[in-house]
Amino acid sequence: MKSAAAIIVLLLALIPLPWLVRSDFWLNFAVLTLYYGFLGQSWNILGGYGGQYSFGHAAFFGTGAYTSAVLQLQLGFNPWLAVGLASVAGGVVAAIVGGLSFRYGLRGSYFALITLAFAEVLRILADSLGFTGAGVGLQVPLHPAVVNFQFAGKSGFYFTMLVLTALGLAVVWYIEHSRFGARLMAVRDNEDAAQALGVNVYRVKLGAIVVSGILMALGGVFYLQYFLYIDPEIAYGPAVSIAALLAPIVGGLGTMCGPLLGAAALQLLNEVSESAIGAAPGLNLVLYGAVLVLIIAFLPEGIAGVARLRIGLPRGRAA
Amino acid sequence: MMLTLDHIAKRFGGVQAVSDVTFAVARGEIVALIGPNGAGKTTLFSLIAGFLAPDAGAIRFEDRDVTGLPPHRIAALGLVRTFQTAQPFERLTVAQNIAVGAHLHLASRGAALRRGAEIAERVGLGKWLHRPSRELTVAGRKRLELGRALATEPHLVLLDEVMAGLNPTEIDAIVPTIFAIRDSGITVLLTEHVMRAVMRLSDRVLVLNNGRLIAQGKPADVATDPAVIEAYLGRGVAPPAARELARG
């Protein structure tokens, strides 16, 4: 219960941010931090709590984004109405990917590869089908109005992301305090032992990937409304899959706040490396990569792991 | 009958791991399954608990055919195994580990954690309740295996060498725990190499050698059975040597 109170306080403290931060640059920074933290939280549910490392979360992200875009542009849906269907579509794709790979017991690198393959297949489909705009992509016309899920300033998007962040944290809080979550973590740590104690491993993993897929699709929906444009590379390319797994790995796998911490650290690193050596294009990415290697090498439990050591909390005490 | 095995067989490639094994365990018994290394004891446990499917034969648990059911279904019916090499959920605490077992019948997280604490006390892990399970000693891990299995409220537990790797003091400490399990109404089938404990604990002993059941009976009778002695010590060298000499 203490963790729930701390998170509610944190979220409440973040509400006045748009009035405190006047610069669009920093508000955009905050939006992107929450956005990458949210993608990371989606990945964290399956990877951090379930131990199933996906390399193709773009499959769910892109499905969410494309479903919303196609419903709006080809069928004239209101974007708010499209949100529900887009998240369902993400969940369905997750159920198909999970159903096939978990039914046949694919684990570890095999699971990672099969998820990557699904994302690539969807990317190629989006590249060649007419109703997805093929290689040109889809552009949502700019009509800033709350009813169109478009906001004139950054603060509207910031609040949308804050709500999504709260949703992600609520899901993870539930995982840490429920039978489903207990079983999911048991499966992560030892599948055989979990089975021996009556856990239906297949069903638990399937549940985790569907929840993860629904959240990831919501991330895709948000991306579309924020940037108003998607193409096959943006929606289904490996960049978004990697972004989703980096935040929790850097921040702390299988922890509630890890993805958010990781996203903040990565965003900061990104900005710092860009302003430090912005003159030489590409060099900032070298610095970014080097720091990333150092974090993974020296902080195997991520930033949350360091925080835990400092305040002397034993791991996994949360439940 | 609590458990019945009817002509069970299992082959791995060219190795007949288990052949034509038939036996029954009655409610409330402590039965020990013994035999030399590689006799097929753990394979038999995996077959009973559903981790392997037999090539032939049938397994009945409480008069229900469980042959070929997946492990989680068999566990839900009340038949739970432990592992020879303890398999803790390493990132979870002792209480959380045991709660996973308790969740089989308890949906509430709070209730499962309370049951976890109770059972940790019962198996002598009360002091380690909130410690990560990977910090436990071998003896502690064995007790955790036992605790998790008990938390599922089984009717029959299969204990796979719960005493392996323990020192004599630790063995003496775990024997009363196993008697207490039986006295709480749970039937016990165990494999064990520690003969001292087998003699003290079991009502009946089954002896497995090369995948076949070669003897069964009271512990004292089995210990003097010539076939059993031969399985453990090998065929005597004296008679053939004597024959050679006579022919010479």
Q: Residues A51-76: pLDDT tens digits?
A: 999 999 999 999 999 999 999 999 99
For residues A90 and A60, the answer to whether their CB atoms sit within 8 Å is yes
Within a domain: residue B178?
yes
Per-residue b or e along B196-221, where b marks 16 or more CB atoms closer than 10 Å to that residue's CB: ebbeebbebbbbbbbbbbbbbeebee
Compute the distance between CA of residue B110 and CA of residue B231 in angstroms, rounded to an integer: 50
Q: What is the mean pLDDT of chain A?
A: 91
Backbone angles phi, psi at B50, to 5 degrees: 90, 5
Contact assignment for A195 to B82 by CB distance below 8 Å: no
- Is the pLDDT confidence value at B241 over 50? no
Contact assignment for B113 to A198 by CB distance below 8 Å: no
- E strand or H helix at B45: helix B41-49
| pLDDT tens column, A11-39 | 999 999 989 988 889 999 999 999 999 99
What is the identity of the amino acid at A14? L
Contact assignment for B130 to A192 by CB distance below 8 Å: no
Residues of B in contact with A190 (CB under 8 A): 87-90
Beta-bridge partners for A145: A150
* A199-208, A248-257, A294-303, B82-91, range with the lowest pLDDT: A294-303
Within a domain: residue B114?
no
CB atoms within 10 A of CB B17: 21
Beta-bridge partners for B64: B61
Within a domain: residue B121?
no
Which chain A residue has its CA at the smallest distance from B132's CA? Answer: A315
Q: How large a percentage of chain B has pLDDT more than 70?
A: 94
**Which whole number is the average pLDDT over A171-193?**
97
Within a domain: residue B210?
yes
- Is the pLDDT confidence value at B56 over 50? yes
Compute the distance between CA of residue A17 and CA of residue A33 in angstroms, rounded to an integer: 13
- Beta sheet of B3-12, edge-to-edge order: B15-25, B3-12, B56-61, B64-65
For residues B34 and B44, the answer to whether their CB atoms sit within 8 Å is no
Compute the distance between CA of residue B103 and CA of residue A246 in angstroms, rounded to an integer: 33
Q: What is the mean pLDDT of chain B?
A: 90
Q: At B47, which CATH number?
A: 3.40.50.300
Compute the distance between CA of residue B74 and CA of residue B63 in angstroms, rounded to an integer: 13
Domain count, chain B: 1
Within a domain: residue B196?
yes
Within a domain: residue B135?
no
pLDDT tier at A316 (50, 70, 90 boundaries)? Answer: very low
B68: phi > 0 → left, psi -120 to 50 → alpha, else beta; which?
left
- Is the pLDDT confidence value at B223 over 70? yes
**pLDDT value of residue A90:** 98
Backbone angles phi, psi at B107, to 5 degrees: -80, -30
Compute the distance between CA of residue A251 and CA of residue A259 in angstroms, rounded to an integer: 5
Within a domain: residue B186?
yes
**pLDDT value of residue A310:** 55
Residues of B with a Cβ under 8 Å from any A Cβ are 49, 51, 70-72, 75-76, 80-83, 87-93, 96, 99-101, 103-104, 106-109, 112-113, 130-132, 148-149, 151-152
Structure tokens, B136 = 């436990």
| pLDDT tens column, A226-238 | 999 999 999 999 9
Within a domain: residue B123?
no
**Which whole number is the average pLDDT over B210-224?**
90
Compute the distance between CA of residue B225 and CA of residue B215 in angstroms, rounded to an integer: 8
Q: How many angstroms away from the CA of B91 is the closest CA of chain A?
A: 7
Note the Cα B81 to chain centre separation in Å.
7
- Beta sheet of B204-209, edge-to-edge order: B79-81, B156-160, B187-191, B30-34, B204-209, B212-217
**pLDDT value of residue A271:** 85
CB atoms within 10 A of CB A79: 20
Contact assignment for A182 to B148 by CB distance below 8 Å: no
| pLDDT tens column, A243-287 | 999 999 999 999 999 999 999 999 998 888 878 776 677 777 787
Among A197, A201, A255, pick the best mutation site for testing chain B contact (most B Cβ within 10 A).
A197
CB atoms within 10 A of CB A300: 10
